[in-house]
Structure 1
Amino acid sequence: MEQPSLCGTAEDHLPAPPRQPATPPVAAMASMSMSGSLNEEGVRTGISIVELQKLQKLSKETTEKLHRVWDEMGLSPEERSLQLNSLLEAVETVFTQKVGDEVALRDEYISAAASLEKEIDAISEQLGMPRKHFPHGDSGNLMVKLTWLRSHLADFQAIKEERMTKLEDMCTRLQEIRIQMGEIEDNQLMDLDAFLTQEAMQDYESKLIEATHHKTRRIAAIQETIRDITALFEELEYDIQDDIDKAIMEGGEGLGIDMDAVAILSQRARELTDEKISRTERLKQLGSQIQPLWERLDVDTDTRQKFFMDNRGLGVGVIRQCELELERLIHLKQEMMGDLIRNAQAKIQELWDEMKFDDEQREAFTHAHMMAPICEDTLIAHEEEIAVLNIQAELYRPILKAVERYEQLCEERDDYEAKIQDSSRLLSRKGGSALREEEAQRRRVTQGLPRTIEKIKNTIAEYEEEHGPFVLNGRRFVETMDEMEIEHARQLAEAKERKKKSKDTKEDFFPGSASRIPGRTPSKKSAAGTPGGPGSSQRTRPPLGSRNY
């Protein structure tokens, strides 16, 4: 007996059932599930014709198989309808479950896409980089979108990992530097997620560079302090015993570079500098006492030089040797006190003579100290007087040199004025050179001497404005010089007067003698008179250097 198909109608196979559906349930289910809009090839989007045909074939074969079984079983059309409806419900349940599963999977895809979007947005914000968006928007394939998002996220994660690795390296180095330098850790610098942007990374790198430079400067300052301390150790000939001092001599190894190390080294440097200053002042004090004693005792240069060569530096031993030398010189000075006082007196006498002190100027010191007992106070008084006289002599010497030049020119003036009275000098075989020499002498007397006098007066005026009268042999030299010039002018006028009287006497004694011989005039020699005679203008001058002012 031929079995009805699931794809046919109940009327084709069963006798007049009370209510028979127009389409078998399974076939209707297949038709319903496969219905919908078709594309240009006549197939619903995403389902091929082959797949549709398979479902239809499966529905038909299943219905036919059921009818054959039911025929054998003798099921009535009502029972068969119930069975088919039950099957339809079961199929619908499977289809519904499948649809629900796929919807759930689709929702998972959507949720996963949203999660990826959120993660990409977070990393994009951390990195400070703009993110890309799915090119097809919300209408695109979810699986394609998920693949694209995962790829985009992987790119961002690679950049983040690269930056994080660099930040971790910089953070480690920065923290090491801060620990070495004794600085407190900065927790903000430990939160590396806050420094993932390019600008933040550059800022972090700048902090590392700044810390590195700070460390370099700290090390350089510490090394410079160590060098200074080492130099002071050597200069002071310091005995190294302390552990810190030993570490300093080894280049500062083990001291570190934190602020405690800086404080220790700075304190040590100050202590040694203070010690150097103290020892230097002590040596200066000893030197200021030794040097005058060497001068007093006339210690030879070789002995002094050898002492300097043997006692250089600022060591304790050098100071001790200077103290011993001072003690030796003081003892020697006591033994030579008498000779030292006598030598000082001779020096005072020498300075008095140089500055032409008169007896009154010398008497004050002579009366007070020259006859004093031989003792330290007497020697000190003599040395103080020498110091005062040396200062005065330094001021006197430029003026005394000008005074000496004045005396020389005065002698030359006397010589010149005497020479020009002798007319026979013109008849000498060396008349030409003699005249040239006489002309040079005339310029020195007529030009050089007035300039010298003016210079002396100006120099003495400056001296007297600050130091009081410039006195030689008890008189102001300016007054003495003025008197000398007045005396010279008086003598010169007297000589001219004598010469004139002598000439008048000869004319009265030999009237008309000059006109008795035509073409002849009286000779200058006869008119001038015999040198040294009544008509001569020669004057007697004291020898050079013998003037007493």
Structure 2
Amino acid sequence: MPSRKSESLVSSMISGINIALAQLEDLWDSMGIVEEQRLERVLTVKTYMEDLLRRMIEEEEACRSRLKANIVTSQKQVAELCAELMETPCEMEDGLSILQLEKELRCRLEALTAEKNSRMSDLETLKQEDEMLCMQLCSTPHYVPSNVVPSRAQLKALQEHVAELTAEKATRLAVSTALRKDVALLGREIGHDPDTSLERDALSDDPEVFLLTHDNIRALQELIGKLELKKRSLISTRDKLKERAMSLWNRLDCPEKDGGFPLDTQGTLTDDISRWKVEVERLEELQKAQLERVISKARVELVDMWEKCLFGPEQRQPFSTHLYDANYTEELLLVHDAELVKLRDYQEQARPLLDNLEKWEKNWTLFQDFERKASDPSRFSNRGGALLKETKERAKVQRMLPKLEEEMKGAAEAWQRTHGTAFLVRGQKLMEYISGQREEYKLQKEKEKSERMKKTDNANKKGDSTLFKTPTKRAMMSTSTSATPNKVVKKTPNQTLAITPNQTVVRGAAISSTLTPVQFSKPPLGPSKAHERAPLQEFNGGECPAITYSDFTSELSRKNSQEAVLNSTVCLDLERGAK
């Protein structure tokens, strides 16, 4: 039946090809294609069909080759697995096609692989249990050939060995548990902390931590003897300290000898010794008074060096134990001196960075001062060129800050490459510290702006229309408070101000006594520009959240342009008009 269907399909395909060729003939006839051109087209069709069939034949031949290769590979793998698992080699039926044979071998291979994986998994689990028990009992693990698939008999022998070790573990555990309880009791009595791995394992809450070997059990018995000996030694030490304290009480005529100091407590022997030791040390403090003064002076110098080196809390923390040590001894003084020497070396190595940072902080402070002064309109009423001097100083600071930051960035990177650690300033990386200062200043400006806006809103709600008036000087070319009507005063190139009645001329600018906005003849100020601020006002008004150096430079570079309005009184008047 399949052959008949395929033959019918082939016949149908041939018929379709003939029909298609006939249609091509008709098309060529209708187009008037000559015989030579028709021959070329027929050859093209023939070449295409032959190439298609050739490629299909090649693909099918490649598929048959792959199947044969898979059969050979599968037969080899099946034979190897049968040998590893000690199974009888499988025989395939005769008369199977290539596809059927390949499928049978593949299924057989999958089954043998699953059996191998199962045995190896069981072997791994049993080996882990055997190794753990052997480690705890210090015995020899059961031998199983490595890199070989175990037989079922080998797996059974390993299981029996694991069961025997489990029973032995239970017996040793009962003995070791009693010994560990004795160790814990003696430790509590004398206040002893475990200082060896054996003691820590014996006192561990996890019983599996302690290895149940014969050596460890003997070691526990010896440990009990040592702890009993230590108990007697601690009792002797406590009695000696007690005797020393009583001797000092009698010598110094202290009230503790009459009952002010508790002689007996319910604590451990170690606690009793510590308590008596503290009392003895207290009684001997008088001998250390002079040494205490020297160490205190060294500590003051040490704190001063920390401040000079800009150390943060984390950098000071390692020495805090010595800094607050009340045991004034010569050894402690040597420790302080060594720390001072180390700090002086650090300061000498970091001097370029520290000097540049100090310069940056000074310039940063000046920059903030200039920003605060820029918000004060009274600075425009000064005489003697103070405003020009201030502008020059601001430009100098603006140039100095980025230059110093660039130098410090390079120096900090070189420091990290040399010393392997970042250069810290009060616990922060240098550039993070500088960025933090800028961010803090930005937040402060935003806070001030919010407060000003809040005050303005409150004033508007109360109906307070009083506006800040810029202090004025004597009117130019006139001593009166009024100017000639319709007088035009030239302000800057390409700009004129139309002076109306009831206005005062101040340093070339017209300010109305009724605070009327100034009208420019060129260029006109339309309604869309009413709320724009002049460049100098925007820079000096103190209303920006943060003023960057690029903004600072751009405003200075615009001072000679036709668009820049640098007259302060005009800026203020514009602002009043906008409001």
TM-score (norm 1): 0.32
TM-score (norm 2): 0.30
Larger Rg: 1
